[in-house]
Structure 1
Amino acid sequence: MAGHRSPGGRRVPTVPAPHRTAARHQAAARPTLDGPSTRRTIAHTTAAVGAAFGAVATGTFAVVVPTPLDGTATTADAAEEIGPAALAANATTLTPAQEATGSLGGGPLSPVAFIIDSAGQTDDPAAQDADIASLDKAGRLADELAEMHAQAAREQAERERLDAIIARGGVDGWITEALRIMELPQSLAPGIKRIIMAESGGNPRAINNWDSNARRGTPSQGLMQTIPSTFRAYVHPDLAGRPITDPVANITAGVRYMIANYGMETVVAGGRSNSAGSYIGY
């Protein structure tokens, strides 16, 4: 092709095609996104961005192209220099194992941060579960404390009731005091009272002068009609200095003897009985 002439008659030099191309792209000169190094950079950048945002989808995801620091890259440039072949070469496909574990390459994704609002509330399920567990524990402790106070109130009321019985005296008061000293349940009181009424009629100074013990010179005495040797052997240690006719001491001796020789069930039953159900003593 002939060169053009200028108005002054001089031929305008023709710029070769290679030079024209270089001139047109000189201002936007940039390295092409080709080669192993560039592909590794894109792949690593993509993985880093995906991990930073915690967004991983199964299958193939698109390459993220970073913008150069000089701000010259554009969408058109990216489309021009990264064609289908480059995109396919730099795409990453998750393996089933990566999909199951939520990892890219060799490392796991960063955990998602849970936001705590100004009121101190969090959307972290684990933290919410811990808060619920703490509330449940606090509720149980409160219930246990309330039950302890209620139990203490019931025990105080029972002590006051027994104190009133003891203060009134009589058979019921003596039995109540004896059971308290022996640290036995007050539920034994009805059986012990039945024994006392059968043995002495409730008289703490009763003495049996006609049975075999009396004939041997060791008459039975007191509410539960114990002989002196039995009283000394079984009276509660705290009352050992009291006489055999002391009502409370006599009861402790008779009850402890019966439990040792006939068992607690005999005391509960109100003493031994024959086949007809009649009391036969101990």
Structure 2
Amino acid sequence: MYLCKETMAMLSDIALVLNGREASFKVYNWGIVSPLFDNPVHKHSFFEVCYVMDGEGEYTDDGIHYLLKPGTHFISRPGVTHQIRTANGLFLLYVGFELDHAQSSETMRESFQHLAEHAVVVVEEAAQHPTALLWKSLLLQEKPASNLPQAAIPSISYSLLLSFLTLFGGRVNRTSQPRQHSNHYLQQAKLFIRDNLSQPLSLQLVANYLNVSERHLSRLFASGIHENFTQFVRDERIRQGSHLLMNSELSIKEIAEATGFSSVHYFSRLFMEVIGLPPAKFRKQHQTSQA
């Protein structure tokens, strides 16, 4: 029997920064969840790879539907909307990560860029693929003798992430610190919000995505950043709105829509409250200072 919570805690403690000779990775989340039910339509700014250990369901990626069953691997690429749906729940392993370009070789940068653009999204009947075996080797079991030494976990995790290049059809050219579990969930919540600002964002939706209770998520925001969930979402919308006003030619109406505001009037009113200037005047003032 696998110890899901204990495995997640271990990986979140010792396998968030993975360094090797050719590549360096920043891991945003590890997940070992049973059962996992439907999640909302959403997207990430990073890769997320999932492996179905048990259960059946459906995965939608960029509008295309795929069946999920035991032994299936699937990948969500940066910026691509996706969703999992399942009636009876899945035993799902997943990891969200990105390549640290500054610390990785040109070969790895090109390989993961190719993966982002040309990945085979779903790979079925892959229970005996090396990727699946690497996944299973990370899972803690009730009998200690069945587990790898913790010292081996970072290198196995690094190998797992590299294995995605061949599993999903990427190109591989042959040449060439501890953190609290609560902070891990808070970081996942903040990333999800920032990646999905154009969508309606409620405490319930984000809590369901993380598979935690609304009360627990609310406490994480209050204790972690001394700000409630609603304030954080509002501030992130205004921050992104400011960025788009300064760095894009989008109309104020388009910016309001891109940052999840229900109307231009509401965006302008809230922007004035927070920033102290109307959006149009803020943009003009920035353009004048750059001239």
Whose relative contact order is higher, 1 or 2, with alpha carbons under 8 Å and at least 6 apart?
2
> TM-score, length-normalised on structure 2?
0.20
TM-score by length of 1: 0.20
Q: Which has the higher helix share?
A: 1
The structure whose Rg is larger is 1
* More strand per residue: 2
